[in-house]
């Protein structure tokens, strides 16, 4: 049976990126060795990471005074590296979900944190508006897409202090004005590549301002200086990122991704909004295009488990909602074809017909 992969992360990747990565595992670009057994300091691997960085810069239109890094440790290690490198007096954070909350907790280990606004009062079902970014903060941190709760901040804010963003789950889904940010990071495993690698886009001038000593491996300057090759990087994962970026470019780039992501998410949100049985959990103007969260209306609540079973039988994978929201979550990352969205909608209609 054909599987429709709505996993929240690790998640669906372009088929061609997987096939080309599999070929490189057998023989890296004709060099006679596997991608898994070449030196990260070989000219073959240098060409891989150079191409990944160049494609990332080209596709995201990253200005020349920014560096692109591929590191280990996940977005979760960035929760620590960001304050380690940037927090001197005080940091400001926007609390829009569990990941933002974890980032705040980590920053509090390094200094005072002002939470400028939070949507925790409504189980994070909206993005706060009309907040003021304190001008005395060292930086302001936002989570652009809340993978668990399904809300998204799609404006590149004007910030009076350096803007830092966790873009783990909506990177490359819309054109971003990178020049408005000082640092952007994320785990690759939602929209860019496989698990195991973390991307960081950092502007040189935001670094070097804290007085604390920073361990070598946690210092962005180390990785900038050595082009992400201070220590052994996650070579395989970087290769697949490069292949995903090549695919994305061939599709027409970030603008084309955005158009498709709008079509896919509108299709599913319309189906939810017109349904007797299902209802969205996020306020309309804060809805994510990447992670669509919905539940069953009160009178059908007892049918949620039955729908999950039914959907599974039709090849739907990964649509169970996170335990903090319940219900369902369909992740519509770039590589997910619109046919899969339609298949899920068909499945919802069929279930509704039989049960509502």
Ligand X SMILES: *Cc1c(COP(=O)(O)O)cnc(C)c1O
What are the catalytic residues? 99, 166, 190
Task: Name the residue nearer to ligand X (CB basis): 290 or 347.
Answer: 290
Instruction: List the x/- string, 85-114, binding to ligand X by CB under 6 A.
Output: --------------x---------------
* Residue selected from 4, 67, 174, 190 as contacting ligand X according to rule CB under 6 A: 190
| DSSP-based helix, strand, coil % in the chain, nearest 5 | 40, 15, 40
CA separation for the pair 52, 172 (Å, rounded): 14
Half-sphere exposure of residue 234, counting CA atoms within 13 Å on the CB side? 21
With H, G, I as helix, E, B as strand and everything else as coil, classify residue 55: helix
Nearest distance in Å: CB 91, ligand X: 17
Q: What are phi and psi of 293, to 5 degrees?
A: -100, 135
Q: Is 76 in the site for ligand X (CB under 6 A)?
A: yes
Q: Is 191 in the site for ligand X (CB under 6 A)?
A: no
Strand partners, 95: 118
Instruction: List the x/- string, 20-59, binding to ligand X by CB under 6 A.
Output: ----------------------------------------
Instruction: List the x/- string, 138-177, binding to ligand X by CB under 6 A.
Output: -----x---x------------------x-xx--------
Nearest distance in Å: CB 236, ligand X: 16
CA separation for the pair 88, 309 (Å, rounded): 51
Count CB neighbours of 111 within 10 A: 15
Strand partners, 91: 113
Structure tokens at 15: 């088929």
Task: Name the residue nearer to ligand X (CB basis): 234 or 348.
Answer: 234
Binding site for ligand X (CB under 6 A): 9, 74-76, 99, 143, 147, 166, 168-169, 187, 190
């Amino acid at each position: 049976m054909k599987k429709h992969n709505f996993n929240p992360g690790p998640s669906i990747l372009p088929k061609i990126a997987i096939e080309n990565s599999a070929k490189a595992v057998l023989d890296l670009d004709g060099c006679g060795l596997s991608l898994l057994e070449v030196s990260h300091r070989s000219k073959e691997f240098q060409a891989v990471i150079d191409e990944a960085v160049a494609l990332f810069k080209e596709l995201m239109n990253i200005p020349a005074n920014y560096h692109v890094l591929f590191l280990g440790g996940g977005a979760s290690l960035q929760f620590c590296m960001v304050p380690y490198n940037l927090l001197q007096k005080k940091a400001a954070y926007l609390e829009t979900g569990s990941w933002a909350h974890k980032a705040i907790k980590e920053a509090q280990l390094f200094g005072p944190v002002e939470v400028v606004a939070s949507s925790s009062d409504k189980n994070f079902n909206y993005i706060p508006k009309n907040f003021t970014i304190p001008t005395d903060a060292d930086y302001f941190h936002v989570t652009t897409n809340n993978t668990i709760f399904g809300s998204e901040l799609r404006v590149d804010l004007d910030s009076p202090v350096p803007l830092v963003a966790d873009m783990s789950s909506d990177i490359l889904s819309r054109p971003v004005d990178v020049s408005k940010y000082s640092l952007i990071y994320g785990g690759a495993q939602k929209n860019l590549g496989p698990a195991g690698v973390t991307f960081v886009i950092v502007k040189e001038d935001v670094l070097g301002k804290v007085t604390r000593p920073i361990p070598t491996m946690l210092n962005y300057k180390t990785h900038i200086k050595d082009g992400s090759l201070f220590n052994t990087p996650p070579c395989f994962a970087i290769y697949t990122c490069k292949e995903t970026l090549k695919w994305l470019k061939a599709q027409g780039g970030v603008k084309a991704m955005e158009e498709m992501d709008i079509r896919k998410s509108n299709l599913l949100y319309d189906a939810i909004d017109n349904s007797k049985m299902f209802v969205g959990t996020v306020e309309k103007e804060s809805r994510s295009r990447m992670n669509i969260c919905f539940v069953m209306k009160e009178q059908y609540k007892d049918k949620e488990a039955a729908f999950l079973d039914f959907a599974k039988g039709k090849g739907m994978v990964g649509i169970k909602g996170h335990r903090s929201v319940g219900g369902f979550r369909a992740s519509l990352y770039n590589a997910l074809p619109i046919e899969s969205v339609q298949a899920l909608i068909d499945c919802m209609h069929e279930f509704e017909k039989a049960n509502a």
